[in-house]
Structure 1
Amino acid sequence: MQILNLGVNHHTAPIDIRERVAIAPEHLQDSLLDLRNHLKGKYSDLTPEVTILSTCNRMEIYCAANDATYPDHYLEERTFDWLAAQNNVHQHELRPYIYSAKESDAVKHAFRVGSGLDSMVLGETQILGQMKKAIENANQVGALGAYLKPLFDKTFSVAKVVRGNTQIGAHSVSMAGASVKLVERIFGKMSQCSVLFIGAGEMIGLCANHFAGKNPKKIAISNRTVDRGNDLIKTFSDKNLQTEVFPLVDLPKQLHEYDVVVSCTASSLPIIGMGMVKTALKARQSRPIVLIDLAVPRDFEPEIKSLKNAYLYSIDDLGEIVSAGKANRQDCIGDAEKIIERGVIEFYETLEKRAVVPIIKSIQNVGEQYQKIELEKASRRIANGDDPMVVLSHMAIALANKFMHAPIHALKQSSDANLEEYKQIISKIYSSK
């Protein structure tokens, strides 16, 4: 069996690399099928398992194959080739940022990711939902099998134990919380700020809730689908906030009205350019505007950062705030790592038990064939008037001889090198104790 994890994340690669290899949700299933075919290569009769996890902070590929035909490093090399070619990135540009892990190290990495130990926000729970979505996509296109499915089942089980038995997520600052802290550093109290959220997904929902708790002057949502924006804005109906929803096409003429803009869409290209922000700043008479880009690929053109009074922050810029207090939770990290190490051992024990299932079934099938043959013989003899007790005696002897034939034959035909091992195994199986 070969298990591989390969990818980039916020630890190894800057955002400009991560956004170039990110895969949009609507393309994920096609990418899974394309990756699987690429891994087959000239081994067209093989069926490797694949899963792709693409989030703001990571782009990871998990592969598994149960065939000795694959040469060493084949999966790793083919996976890297696909990742670079799929996203039109030169291999020499991408290679310095790539990490990979094999076998038990890959299993451990999956457990750490699912438990939030590898996240920018230590112990965060959003990654678990993202992993489940990745597995759902892989399952829908038939890319899971006997190794990745139990791997991720165990990942979710380990993550549950980590969260239930450690304080790994206690007192952590989420991306949403970090965004609020950042705005308060610049504007002071939020009560004088108008806040615009672009998008209506999970991350925007989390951020909007955090900002709403600070009672801003106004909250607005701009989204391609206004209905989704309306559904989200309804959650603030009991907070006595001034709210508004408008379509994304109206953004250029409304941007200047907002002091804070938080964006997280699934767009593959920036939706807010330098010209739009320049126009907004002019209309604001150079009053500062805070722009928080939580999307990967980014929603704002990075050149906006050069504009005076435009404070643009990417998801990586929030890392310093998010990491605050992490050092105080090192004991929790140690406890979580111990749970993960046990989980890796248990995963391989489960695989070993599953590996003997085909052998057990084969033995059972042989036994059923012997039983059928001898029962048919016995039925004919009894029908011919033979003594039932004699028939049963002959049937018992015949069944015993059939089951003894294989081990005795193996002993007689074994080489000197294997004889001692066969003797020990057969003695243990047929021990009278």
Structure 2
Amino acid sequence: MSVDVLTFGLNHVSAPVAVRERVSMPLDLLKPALDGLRSAFGSSVKEAAILSTCNRTEIYCAAEPQVSERLPSWMAEFNRLEAGSLQPHLYRYQKNEAVRHAFRVASGLDSMVLGEPQILGQMKDAVRVANEAGALGTTLHQLFQRTFSVAKEVRSQTAIGAHSVSMAAAAVRLAERVFGDLSQASVLFIGAGEMIELCATHFAALNPKQIMVANRTLERADLLAAHFMAKTMKLSELPDKLADFDVIVSCTASSLPILGLGMVERATRLRRHRPMVMVDLAVPRDIENEVGRLADVYLYSVDDLGRMVQSGTDARRAAVVQAEAIIETRVQNFMHWLENREIVPAIIDMQQAADRVRLAELDHARRLLARGESPEVVLEQLAYGLTQKYLHGPLAALNQSEAAEREQLLALLPRLMPGVSRRR
């Protein structure tokens, strides 16, 4: 059975955050997921890697073609969802389309923020985990190495990432729409990862009245806070201190909401209904969706910021055309490599068959020499024997062929046997 490169999943275009958060996988869950995938499909899936971010969860496989039909059921079952519930949101790519998708994702062309650089690092993390899990082989290893190379080429040769409006900058703009000048605002960051650091950098540039970092472990919070002259607190203190903050930006790896409706309601009462901007960049979400119904709370999800960011991408549209051209060339190069790999077994068989003939004729020549035959005669017989056996296959195929097949064989002869010309 032939093996294809397959890509399967959902992203910010095909699925809302309410769906994406149900299939999102933190890094520590990727290995169990890969183990479960390979156990479920057996030898049908030769290699696999899973990429899961706020904006997408995708499976990359080197697998038998029919696997793509069964992947939706596996993903639903693994995430304890009803069979078929994901179907309207899923996409599947095979062969060159799958390769093109991988190249576009790594280059930032498929991102919510056109040209954003974080996705490349996230893809490298996914590949590292897959490699550590023993789920990568020659095909996907080559695919991802070329993917990283294409992403580097696109970023160095085009302006795809220039003047990008980041999610962090969008969060600042949303807060400014409500409060105007943020110099008198108190800002709380929940989490201490890369996205929170980016947001903190943007907000700190406006010199807010107070910056606080809340995290499950204070050591990481302290490390981040030191960069911005900020204070820190534990997540357990949130119920008592939430009302002190005008802007809350949250992005953790929690599988359950950190800020519930009841906690935020109490905070708004204590604030005497002064407005509160809440930006939830996490998938799964950190803030219960019902919080957005409160009159004094302006709740924005990662999708809301994405729509805002999209309006600032016009200046980079021209670079997309150039980037797509680079990607198309590299897709063709990879497919050529992949197709060549498919004939490797046939080449090995041919070499082994030729070697058997060589050894048999050589053994025969040695026996003749041992009996005292003239070396010149033995060499003549050796050359004749090799030539006859070399020609036996092509001659037999020509003699046994019918008219249409014979025409095809005659057309191929000059390519298979250099020096032979087709004569009428």
The alignment's TM-score, normalised by the length of structure 2, stands at: 0.90
State how far apart, in whole Å, the 2-side matches of 1:334 and 1:224 are. 44
Query: Structure 1 residues 46 and 409, CA, compared in 2 at 3 Å: closer, same or farther?
Result: farther
Query: Which segment is superposed worse, 254-263 or 282-291?
Result: 282-291
Which residue of 412, 419, 422 maps to 1:425? 412
State how far apart, in whole Å, the 2-side matches of 1:335 and 1:180 are. 31
8 Å contact from structure 2 (residues 172, 203) kept in 1 = yes
Residue in structure 2 matched with residue 299 of structure 1 by the alignment: 286
Q: Report 1:225-374 matches (<5 A).
A: 225-234=217-226, 236=227, 241-374=228-361
Deviation at 1:279, TM superposition (A): 2.8
Which residue of 183, 188, 199 maps to 2:191? 199
1:331-378 alpha-carbon deviations (Å, 9 max, x no partner): 222222222222222221121222233333333333333333444444
1:173 aligns with 2:171: no
Residue in structure 1 matched with residue 53 of structure 2 by the alignment: 55
8 Å contact from structure 2 (residues 44, 67) kept in 1 = no
Which amino acid in 1 is paired with 2:354?
Answer: G
State how far apart, in whole Å, the 1-side matches of 2:229 and 2:122 are. 32
Unaligned runs of 5+ in 2: none
Deviation at 1:398, TM superposition (A): 2.8
State how far apart, in whole Å, the 2-side matches of 1:92 and 1:386 are. 78
Query: Which segment is superposed worse, 108-117 or 1-10?
Result: 1-10
Which amino acid in 2 is paired with 1:174?
Answer: S
Deviation at 1:160, TM superposition (A): 1.9
Q: Report 1:31-110 matches (<5 A).
A: 31-38=33-40, 40=41, 45-66=43-64, 74-110=66-102
Which amino acid in 1 is paired with 2:62?
Answer: A
Helix, strand or coil at the partner of 1:6: strand
Which residue of 209, 233, 258 maps to 1:217? 209
8 Å contact from structure 1 (residues 194, 259) kept in 2 = yes
Deviation at 1:303, TM superposition (A): 1.1
8 Å contact from structure 1 (residues 166, 332) kept in 2 = yes
Which residue of 396, 402, 410 maps to 2:397? 410
State how far apart, in whole Å, the 1-side matches of 2:33 and 2:101 are. 22
8 Å contact from structure 1 (residues 226, 246) kept in 2 = yes
1:26 aligns with 2:28: yes
8 Å contact from structure 2 (residues 72, 86) kept in 1 = no
State how far apart, in whole Å, the 2-side matches of 1:31 and 1:417 are. 52
Helix, strand or coil at the partner of 2:70: helix
Helix, strand or coil at the partner of 1:220: strand
State how far apart, in whole Å, the 2-side matches of 1:213 and 1:303 are. 31
Deviation at 1:126, TM superposition (A): 0.8
State how far apart, in whole Å, the 2-side matches of 1:349 and 1:285 are. 66
Q: Report 1:134-149 matches (<5 A).
A: 134-149=126-141
8 Å contact from structure 2 (residues 47, 61) kept in 1 = yes
State how far apart, in whole Å, the 1-side matches of 2:356 and 2:396 are. 19
Moved over 6 A (4+): none
8 Å contact from structure 2 (residues 143, 334) kept in 1 = yes
Unaligned runs of 5+ in 1: none
Helix, strand or coil at the partner of 1:318: helix
State how far apart, in whole Å, the 1-side matches of 2:109 and 2:121 are. 15
Query: Structure 1 residues 168 and 13, CA, compared in 2 at 3 Å: closer, same or farther?
Result: same
Which amino acid in 1 is paired with 2:357?
Answer: Y
Query: Which segment is superposed worse, 135-144 or 9-18?
Result: 135-144
Which amino acid in 1 is paired with 2:35?
Answer: L
Deviation at 1:423, TM superposition (A): 2.3
Q: Report 1:386-401 matches (<5 A).
A: 386-401=373-388
8 Å contact from structure 1 (residues 50, 148) kept in 2 = yes
Deviation at 1:143, TM superposition (A): 2.7
Query: Which segment is superposed worse, 358-367 or 264-273?
Result: 358-367
State how far apart, in whole Å, the 2-side matches of 1:218 and 1:385 are. 102
8 Å contact from structure 1 (residues 272, 301) kept in 2 = yes
Deviation at 1:424, TM superposition (A): 2.3
8 Å contact from structure 1 (residues 178, 318) kept in 2 = yes
Deviation at 1:407, TM superposition (A): 2.2
Which residue of 104, 110, 119 maps to 1:112? 104
Which amino acid in 2 is paired with 1:156?
Answer: F
The alignment's TM-score, normalised by the length of structure 1, stands at: 0.88
Deviation at 1:382, TM superposition (A): 4.2
Deviation at 1:104, TM superposition (A): 2.5
Which amino acid in 2 is paired with 1:101?
Answer: Y
- State the superposition RMSD in angstroms: 2.4
Deviation at 1:177, TM superposition (A): 1.1
1:217-267 alpha-carbon deviations (Å, 9 max, x no partner): 332222222222223233x1xxxx532223322322332332222111111
8 Å contact from structure 2 (residues 185, 209) kept in 1 = yes
Helix, strand or coil at the partner of 1:242: coil
Query: Structure 1 residues 372 and 92, CA, compared in 2 at 3 Å: closer, same or farther?
Result: closer
